[in-house]
Structure 1
């Protein structure tokens, strides 16, 4: 059986239109190998893999976790309507992890076994609540609408049908001038800004690692 291996891993922050009235954006932050990575309030990892076979018979999932252990930029809204945002973006020191995954479809894989997909990791309600408790908003009567880590460590993974890791890649990413990030009250999105990411390591495992996520 051909070994499935992470080939190129691209990192951005972004939100595609997922559910309800969540803000969405598709914004380029980097182009590597011809792929465009997107950015918005939540982390979106664009992952390219090679050696992918028939994903109907042998499912492949792309996943990522992003850990922010320093400052986060936070957009806050009042309790009556979180579309009414507080002036400016607040910075708060906070340690938090977001994760997401995407299962490849036959439309994501070309005839040469190359595939590309996005694993979106949006902040959970509990994480946003914890960010408010950490002092991100004017007071506890406000809610956090969205949050962006100013620096983060990212692990992108390729999972097999048993949800075990077959390969992974690591990045350190920084958002330049994070404290000046703006929030668009009309679109309810963060402004476009590029992360600077450095790949710190990659691995391919002959024996898949289970369980896949901490």
Structure 2
């Protein structure tokens, strides 16, 4: 059974990641804790772990990509043991270093995939915060594929037709992710 996770980001970034099938971390230096794709586990081996991407976290950034992992998993209790590509790590909070974070929900901090991961990961869905997406639509701050000719319309018209804009954005995201159970492959750049 695959592990279901989500990555919180902005609507433009979610679209770009889904469209290219690539996530570029802030760093690829394995000693840097930002040399990874940060994820939050929703379900591991069929058991719920964290909040779903409907919660407050998505509202703060505007979007979440829902992903599935079907490869090896380990606990990362210290950064001295550098994470390897193609392994999903579940990291506990510091005070729970020696606790299995998936068995004790209060110990769970995050999950991560190291730079260079190129197997076992696929995007299967997304969640959008409609208020954030509506603001971006009205401002015209979305990629051309989402805006279309609406980019050239007056802001007041986009505000009036924001419901149409939200539908366009959902449709654009669905096109790049695909439909059905197959999802689309996601690679974490680096190394």
Higher relative contact order (CA 8 A, sep 6+): 2
TM-score, length-scaled by structure 2: 0.28
Q: Name whichever structure is richer in strand by fraction.
A: 1
Name the structure where helix makes up a greater proportion of residues. 2
- Length-normalised TM-score, structure 1: 0.26
